[in-house]
Amino acid sequence: MIKFYNSLTRQKEDVPCHENKTVKMYSCGPTVYYYPHIGNFRAYLFMDNIRRVLKYNGYHLDGVMNITDVGHLTSDADEGEDKMLVASEREHKTPWEIAKFYTDIFMKDARALNIDLPEHIVPATSVIDEMIKFVQALLDKGFAYETSKGIYFDISKDAEYGKLSGMDIREKLAGARIDVDEEKHTPYDFVLWVKAPKEHIMQWESPWGMGYPGWHIECSVIGDKFLGETIDIHTGGVDHKPVHHENEIAQSDSRYGHQVVKMWMHLEFLQVDGGKMSKSLNNIYRLADLEERGYSAEDFRFFYFLAHYSKQQNFTFDSLDMAKNTLKGLKNLAKEHKNGAARVDTKPFEDEFLESINDDLNMPKAIACTLKMLKEERSKNVYDTLLKFNQVLGLNLDEDEQSIPQEVKALAEKRWQAKQNRDFATADALRAQILDLGFVVKDTKDGYEILKK
């Protein structure tokens, strides 16, 4: 039985799911205004980790990640300029060019890290109409109001506001010393839609004149559009908890009158030399920086496994060296086991591995168990068990296994979803697409398998 820590209830809980063991999962995605750093990728390795562990346990994933290409201001709390416009001025490109450039880099790095990407990756600018409808619904229900600057969410209408981070908003209000916008009902009301000045580059028509969305609304809207009114798991970094995720909960739960997200999972930060990774401290590393120094993306992937996601992980080149060497050792042992003649009982290792990953993703313990197993006498069945574990680890251990491209896996998963929804025409079209790529999907008792044509 899997137990994950739910930040909302502050306890480990069974994983919620929909019919046919499908987990609907939402992950806050990147703001594509600058190069993603390895701290950001800790957040997406965390997403990958959850997805793979669920699949290992026979679940199916219906996952969504947004791409923030509008509306994220330089301060998370509705102040400053839109990060996309700052980048656009800095680089003398349009915001659309900026978004494309950094989205491409993000996707390239994510693939290099072998991140199991969600089924839907959705830019905020592709759902402007849906955002407008969502904001209108909040206005209609009395949860929002209009000022000369935009449409705001009225947090006083939401009795539960602040429940995720446990902050008492009334206490916070009593001591509030933030800039007061006279038109706002309470200082912490946040913007849903901003009325744009004429010179603002990114703006769209709306019932409230030309404007652009606030940052938080995109996640509520994309979650709603692709996953519906009930989402099983929502992931993000701890920095999102006090503002972005509180606001998402306020928007979604107010619109639907019930709890939309069942389980919230938050990842602690990657630190550098014991401090925060930040541009101003000049200690940001990109994957490309690591590669320049002779480390592979996979070395960093393995590094992720060496600390629990709920603890800060300190990045140093010494610790990355350790990860690199351990991974090298693991791969060498794997090769020896591939041709091993002994017979080892791997059941105790399989049990321990499963118990570890299912105990709120205890990857350090799962890795220790894997390394312990590799110390056994050289045996082909140790190798086979390692390949099984590798469905979670996602390392490049075996050529045959790696030869099923991510694209084919994603198509097969979509086909399975289409079949569950009895949309057989789509399922058949996807099967044909998979066939064109040189693979066959075969239905089995519990799901499906992918074979080479």
Binding interface with ligand AMP (CB under 6 A): 28, 30-31, 39-40, 42-43, 236-237, 239-240, 267, 269-270, 277
Residues within window 111-150 making contact with Zn ion, judged by CB under 5 A: none
The one-letter code for the residue type at 398 is D
d(CA 33, CA 140): 34
Q: Where are the alpha helices (DSSP H) in 35-141?
A: 38-56, 83-91, 95-112, 128-140
382 near Zn ion, rule: CB under 5 A: no
- What are the helix and strand counts (H, E) for the chain? 16, 18
- Rounded Cα distance, 317 and 355, in Å: 31
Residue number with CB closer to ligand AMP (39 or 213): 39
Indicate the residue among 68 and 114 with the shorter CB distance to Zn ion: 68
Q: 3-state SS string over 124-148?
A: HHHHHHHHHHHHHHHHHCCCEEECC
28 scored as a contact of Zn ion (CB under 5 A): yes
Q: Confirm or reject binding of residue 219 to Zn ion (CB under 5 A).
A: yes
Q: Which is nearer to ligand AMP, 202 or 267 (CB)?
A: 267
- Is residue 194 classed as helix, strand or coil in its secondary structure? strand
Give helix 38-56 / helix 347-358 axis angle, nearest 10°.
120
219 binds, among Zn ion, ligand AMP, none (CB under 5 to 8 A by kind): Zn ion
Tell me whether residue 67 or residue 430 sits nearer to ligand AMP (CB atom). 67
| Segment holding 301, helix H or strand E | helix 297-304
- Residue closer to Zn ion by CB (options 70, 333) is 70
| Neighbour-count burial of 72, counting CB atoms closer than 10 A to its CB (0-12 exposed, 13-18 middle, 19+ buried) | buried
Which of ligand AMP, Zn ion, none interacts with 138 (beta carbon under 5 to 8 A by kind)? Answer: none
Q: Is 367 in the site for Zn ion (CB under 5 A)?
A: no
Which single residue brings its beta carbon nearest to ligand AMP?
237
Q: Which is nearer to Zn ion, 219 or 392 (CB)?
A: 219
Residue 277 interacts, among Zn ion, ligand AMP, none and using kind-specific CB cut-offs from 5 to 8 Å, with ligand AMP
Residue 266 or 431 having the CB closest to ligand AMP: 266
Q: How far is the CB of 28 from Zn ion (least distance, A)?
A: 3
Burial (CB count within 10 angstroms: exposed 0-12, middle 13-18, buried 19+), residue 208: middle
Could you say whether residue 227 binds Zn ion (CB under 5 A)? no
What is the smallest separation between the CB atom of 323 and Zn ion, expressed in angstroms? Answer: 29
Q: Which residues bind Zn ion (CB under 5 A)?
A: 28, 219
